[in-house]
Structure 1
Amino acid sequence: MNTHTLGFYLRIYRKILVQDLKSKMSYRADFIISTVGMIFTNLSGFLSFWILFQNFPSIMGWSYHEMLFLYGFSLIALTPVQCLFDNNWNLRMYVYSGDFIKYCFRPINLFFYYMSEVFDIKGLGQLAFGIGTLAYAWSRLGIGISVLLIVKVILCLITASLFMIALMNLAAATCFWVVQSGYVMVMASKFKDYAKYPATIFNRVFRFIFTFIIPITFIAYYPSLVILRPDAVPLLSWLSPLIGCLFFYISYLVWMRGATRYNGTGS
């Protein structure tokens, strides 16, 4: 039974992170190119909104700066899955090759051990762009600043992150049962592109799917309503922290079930 404390895991993670960053910074050109590439990728999304709103004053009641707020919010919320859980993309290769077995014999939480091995530093470029976009939209919308509001934003961002992390955990875990699971990962990742749009632009069928089956509307739309539309916050926005924690915990259980039942390739 694992009895390690949170402090223990934080100390272990700090040591792993330092070593991982040292190895990555030894290839500074690769880091700079990757970071710049990430910024330009996100800039293209910014420009698409700008071009779109040159012809339309609003979309389903959402203004240009409100859409930018959602976009910046989604970029920040997606940063943890980019930086801290990027090793999910390598899971199927470790499982299929049999190398995943090495993670099963350490006296430490298997999920933590595997995920802590990789920190995708280029995700910090996405974080910087997201903060800049959110700050710009925030100022243009005339939203005030208070301690309570900042706390709400932080809580909403954490909540939003849990949904995408959980979605990628579930997609990655399919490799324990499905041979061609790479397609599942790619499809799950593509869904994040819809997170930057308000749920109201989708028809009822897709709105239901993106809320209750593939809950990407919780990545930006429902959490952002607490800030953007404080006078008409739906129940799902208030429930999103609870739903996010539950969804993440379920994804963790599924991931761990597959991992603990893994016994290598047999070769």
Structure 2
Amino acid sequence: MYPFRLFTYYFVQYLKTRLEYRSDFFVQLVTDLLFQAVNLIFILVVFSHTSDLAGWSREEVIFIYGYFLVPFAVFAAFFNLWDFNERYIIKGELDRVLTRPVHSLLQVIMETMTPESLTGAVTGVAVMGWSVWQMGLNPVWYDPILFLVFVLGGAAIYGGLYIMLTSISLFSDSKTDIQPIMYNVGNYGRYPVNIYNKVIQGVLTWVMPFAFVGFYPASFLLKDERWLVFALLTPVVGVVWLFLGVTVWNYGIRHYRGAGS
């Protein structure tokens, strides 16, 4: 219960801060929507020149893209670690965090969360709904349950990977540019994995498992059983990568030298 109360406190304080600058808040929302619209337009442009993409119809690809937006939105809202190095290492704020009796990673996550990023989930659900309507799919009763499990698993995969990358800063006070590279690679997970060659498919499945964030669970919800086992492994992969991320973080914290050293 204590972590939940702490999260509520941070959330309320965050809302107070954001609402003091409402124009910036709404500008960010509009910017996010425009970014998602550009990616959707890209898919439509591709399908203006072809009727299918490696056997996937336009509506199916749009459905996969819409699904990907949901776990990514959850990740972006609660694992906003982009400026960790600059804020917590170079400016020394991690020293303040480590003096408090709450797990350091939990504090960082609560201090950097951006709940407005969850609007991407609303957009994703809307895109999925349109695709389902166009394809005439009939969801079964357990689809919403699996959808929630898959989304949490995908967000955990993203979170675990980025926690591991962020942990690199605990061993060095120099800036790193790995996160933007990983962000670009992660975008491959929003499209059907079988449109890529075998090497990229293997990387997106076993090395940087972004295919579990978008494609595999989305293909299951589309009633495509070719990747059934991979889809059902999504929550397992999420738990494994989140555990790895937290483990590397804890190891880095034990070896963190402090801002003054």
TM-score, reference length from structure 2: 0.94
The CA deviation string for residues 42-69 of structure 1, in whole angstroms up to 9 with x for no partner, is 0001111111101110010111011111
Is 1:40 matched up with 2:34?
A: yes
- Aligned equivalents of 1:231 and 1:202: distance in 2? 19
Aligned residues with identical type, % of pairs: 20
Q: Which moved more, 1:209-218 or 1:91-100?
A: 91-100
Which residue of 117, 125, 145 corresponds with 2:119? 125
SS in 2 for 1:62: coil
Q: Deviations over 1:141-164 (max 9, x none)?
A: 222133311111111111111111
1:92 counterpart residue number: 85
Question: Any idea what SS the aligned residue of 1:29 has?
Answer: helix
Count of residue pairs brought into register by the alignment: 260
CA contact (8 A) 2:189 2:204 kept: no
**Pairwise mapping of residues 118-197 of structure 1 onto structure 2 (< 5 A)?**
118-197=112-191
CA distance in 2, matches of 1:145, 1:43: 26
SS in 2 for 1:254: helix
Deviations 1:188-209 (A, max 9, x none): 1222221111110111111111
User: Distance in 2 between the 1:262 and 1:231 partners?
Assistant: 46
Q: Tell me if the contact between 1:20 and 1:118 (Cα under 8 Å) persists in the aligned partners.
A: no
Q: What is the Cα deviation at residue 90 of structure 1?
A: 2.3
> Once the 2 structures are TM-superposed, how far is the Cα of residue 230 of structure 1 from its aligned partner?
4.4
Find the aligned partners of 1:156 and 1:231 in 2 and give their Cα distance.
16
What 5-or-longer segments of structure 1 have no aligned partner? 1-6
- Is the counterpart of residue 256 in structure 1 residue 250 in structure 2? yes
Which consecutive aligned stretches of 4+ in structure 1 deviate over 6 angstroms post-superposition?
none
Q: 1: CA distance between counterparts of 2:176 and 2:128?
A: 32
1:266–1:220 CA distance, 2 compared to 1 (3 A): same
**SS in structure 2 of the partner of residue 182 of structure 1:** coil
TM-score, L = length of structure 1: 0.92
What RMSD over aligned residues (CA atoms) do the two structures have, in Å? 1.5
Unaligned runs of 5+ in 2: none
